[in-house]
Amino acid sequence: MKIYPFIFLLVAAGLLTACGDAPSDANQETTTAEPEEPTTGSADTLSYPEEKHLGNLKQLTFGGDNAEAYFSFDDSHLVFQAANEAWDAPCDQIFYMPIDGYEGERPPMLSTGKGRTTCSYFMPGDTTILYASTHLGGEECPETPPVVNGKYVWPIYESYDIFVADLQGNIVKQLTDGPGYDAEATLSPDGSKIVFTSTRSGDLELWTMNVDGTGLNQVTDELGYDGGAFFSPDGSKLIFRASRPQTKEEQDTYKALLAQGVVQPTEMEIFVCNVDGSELTQITDLGGANWAPFFHPSGEKILFSTNHHVDGGRQFNIFSINIDGTGLEQITFDPTFDAFPMFSYDGKKLVFSSNRNNGGTRDTNVFIADWND
């Protein structure tokens, strides 16, 4: 699921899905209070002085909603999702480009152009990609519910299934075909396993499978949304975002919303576990929406997006933290939105999405930088 958190009015919306939607920014209860002025974009600057870990920052897309860019195994290309009317993509479709940017009016589209897609990832050999799509459930973009019972929510489309496509946009294999939501798929570093989120057990849990769709194994089993998972550099662990409703009221609300095909993403923390689900550990306890985690090349810490550090939650930045929960450090400083960090396989570059340098619009673009430890 991808998440583009744009900052709207008091009901603070955002198209979110990291692999997942982006979380909303503030208290999502509706109100009759006078609405505040929305934030419509960040300063027209490419980088900020505090961003000491980012060198030679470069903007790769210019307009529309672009996010969840992930490297090919040889670190030469990026696959990403974008919604851009100028690219014939009224809702998220999958595109790819070299790491120094695309030429022409738009990069090549690798999805069908039908339905809505999310969470693409290169397969071994860099000649095919993995992504989820709703196109078998309908050719039009599925509706996105803005609120349910006064609460901002993410849609959990039951028509999402996971596919493999070649770099000419031809679907070569369908990996899931059961009822319910199957999406947010990413690949292990050795190219042998896929982790994804599914409702096949009745809740939003993490599952793994072989790259041919066999060998299904349920990883998590606690009530709450588990998603946006990535493997550690050595392939032994999974990092992911999760909600964990505690009180009976919270649990009843979660179940009721899930029955309507939606989840509320305002409270999420980062968890880590072994690939089989053992040694599950909560890394963050920051409050607010903590999501889009990705392992640092060392395997000893992660980068993730969070709004815990600002009153009202109307700003998302990328932070790093050790996997034991120590050493919290802010990495990016855009006043609106930074998220979806991913390291190249050689650990030298970081790609992420941001609302910086967007001319005061709500455009979210893809950026790449040299990583400086």
Model confidence pLDDT, tens digit, residues 177-226: 989 999 999 999 999 999 999 999 999 999 999 999 999 999 999 999 99
The single-letter code of the amino acid at 252 is D
The residue ranking higher by pLDDT, 306 or 19, is 306
More confident residue, 18 or 353: 353
- pLDDT score recorded for residue 358: 96
pLDDT at 19: 76
Structure token pair of residue 17: 């899905």
CA angle 119, 361, 365 (to 5 degrees): 30
Q: Are 7 and 314 in contact (CB under 8 A)?
A: yes
b or e along 42-60 (b: 16 or more beta carbons within 10 Å of the residue's beta carbon)? beeeebbeebebbeebbeb
pLDDT tens per residue, range 216-254: 999 999 999 999 999 999 999 999 999 999 999 999 999
Least confident range of 8-17, 148-157, 161-170, 298-307: 8-17
Q: Output the pLDDT for position 23.
A: 53
CA angle 146, 95, 343 (to 5 degrees): 90
pLDDT of residue 42: 60
Q: How far apart are the first and last CA of the chain?
A: 29
Give pTM, 2 decimals.
Answer: 0.92
For the record, the structure tokens of 369 come out as 């930088």
Integer CA distances (angstroms), 334 to 41, 43, 66, 153, 364, in order: 10, 8, 16, 25, 12
pLDDT confidence tier of residue 18, bands split at 50, 70 and 90: low
In the predicted model, is pLDDT for residue 148 greater than 80?
no
Name residues whose C-beta falls within 8 Å of residue 22's C-beta, 6 or more positions apart in sequence: 2, 3, 4, 5, 14, 15, 16, 67, 291, 292, 305, 316, 337, 339
Q: Give residue-wise pLDDT tens across range 101-118.
A: 999 999 999 999 999 999
CA distance 227 to 182: 11
* Degrees, nearest 5: CA angle 229-80-329: 55
Q: What is the pLDDT of residue 152?
A: 84
- Structure-token pair, residue 57: 């920052």
SS3 25: coil
Residue 255: its H or E element: helix 248-259
pLDDT above 80: residue 12: no
Distance, in Å, from the CA atom of 169 to the CA atom of 173, rounded to the nearest integer, reads: 12
CATH number of the domain encompassing residue 25: 2.120.10.30
User: What is the per-residue pLDDT across 96-105, written as a single tens digit (0 to 9) for each?
Assistant: 999 999 999 9
CB 251 within 8 A of CB 229: no
Percent of the chain with pLDDT over 70: 89
Residue 249 three-state SS:
helix
Angle at 234 between CA 231 and CA 235, to 5 degrees: 40
Average pLDDT, the chain: 90
The C-alpha atoms of residue 135 and residue 142 are separated, in whole angstroms, by 9
The pLDDT tens digits for 62-92 are 999 999 999 999 999 999 999 999 999 999 9
The count of structural domains within the chain is 1
Separation between Cα atoms, residue 64 and residue 43, nearest integer Å: 17
Helix (H) or strand (E) holding 84: strand 77-84
Domain of residue 273, residue span: 3-371
At 32, is the pLDDT very low, low, confident or very high (cuts 50, 70, 90)? Answer: very low
pLDDT tens sequence across 313-363: 889 999 999 999 999 999 999 999 999 999 999 999 999 999 999 999 999
DSSP state at residue 287: -
Q: Is residue 159 over pLDDT 60? A: yes
The DSSP element (H or E) to which 1 belongs, if any, is none
Tokens encoding 179: 């009822």
pLDDT greater than 70 at residue 283: yes
